[in-house]
Structure 1
């Protein structure tokens, strides 16, 4: 048993140190699918970079926002500010864990804020059309945002 374990560790170590593909350690499916879709997703990330969007979907604090800077996401979730990492993958935004400030509000506001953050995490698709960013959750709920610069020019 020890010999098999040592042999397995040796194979993994050698494969990690070389460019040789070991068939049972590499997956050609993920390599080919990611190479064909990467430019589309990278383009979306470039289009989002440096932009901040304000929610226009009814039922949320009108200052609720989402912004993007590099690999970072940030915004206002109704009571608190949130921040974290994100990626674009498979036609959706994949968020890491959010950090939050610790302000308190009414029970209704707190529930609304948690629902908003949960919908961000559960998005199944994202579209950016001009100044409108739309996230659709797994449940089919749409969060629609407008570019904050476009919103500020509309109100003037």
Structure 2
């Protein structure tokens, strides 16, 4: 029969958490938040919260392509699942929390847009959000009491979009790659309306001219190739 026995250490032992991680050459599964700043990628591991620069080798291209083609705000981090190893590299810039350590992605597994490390969905995201038009060409949008607000919704599946432009319903596709944002294959119904035609023309024209965007604090800015703001939209609550 086993009996419980109390053990007492002869010396006091002080355990402290190492603020960095030791390199490990073996590839292990990791879950964390990935973001890109210019030509540099960074991975913040969910369990430890430590941030690593990502080496541009092996499966890095798959990770970067998934990030660039998934709708997100500028410099927004996205939850990813990957396999990788932590290696020392004195040539790496000390941009992470682990000195000269770099994360080498050996296999990209999946990306989870709109989620954080806890798996919770974020309140506001570029996709699957109703973006209501609030300003066009620098002027606030004014509507009659019974007039529906123009809006656009970017569906995450198939990069499809749809919305209401002031008189007609419209639909089409969109492309997002980094800061590039364009609407494609736009079409609309052809209803005759007493109200909203001028606003509709301005809204659809702004969408056709859109080539980039900014997303901050629940406001989506559509911009042209010269970074001029064409329209501002707010996320519906």
TM norm structure 1: 0.61
Cα distance change, pair 84–105 in 1 and its aligned pair in 2 (3 A)? same
Where in structure 2 are the equivalents of 1:82-93 lying within 5 Å? 82-89=170-177, 91-93=179-181
Secondary structure of the residue that 1:66 maps to in structure 2? strand
1:39 matches 2:67: yes
Q: Which digits, 9 at most, give the CA deviation of each residue in 1:56-113, with x for residues without a partner?
A: 113546501111112111111111111111110351322112121111124x843431
Where in structure 2 are the equivalents of 1:46-61 lying within 5 Å? 46=113, 47-57=125-135, 58=139, 60=141
Say if 1:61 and 1:78, in contact at 8 Å, map to a contact too: no
The aligned counterpart of 1:128 is: 215
Cα distance change, pair 61–73 in 1 and its aligned pair in 2 (3 A)? farther
Cα distance change, pair 78–133 in 1 and its aligned pair in 2 (3 A)? same
Structure 2: distance between partners of 1:138 and 1:67: 22
Structure 1: distance between partners of 2:198 and 2:133: 17
Structure 2: distance between partners of 1:138 and 1:90: 14
Structure 2: distance between partners of 1:136 and 1:94: 10
Unaligned runs of 5+ in 1: 1-32, 150-156
94-103 vs 43-52, which moves further: 43-52
The aligned counterpart of 2:205 is: 118
Question: How many residue pairs are counted as aligned between the two chains?
Answer: 117
Which of the pair is proportionally richer in helix?
Answer: 1
Say if 1:134 and 1:144, in contact at 8 Å, map to a contact too: yes
1:144 matches 2:172: no
Structure 2: distance between partners of 1:92 and 1:61: 29
Q: Give the 4+ runs in structure 1 shifted more than 3 A.
A: 33-38, 58-62
TM norm structure 2: 0.42
126-135 vs 61-70, which moves further: 61-70
1:77 matches 2:165: yes
Which of the pair is proportionally richer in strand?
Answer: 2
Structure 1: distance between partners of 2:200 and 2:216: 25
RMSD of equivalent CA atoms? 2.9
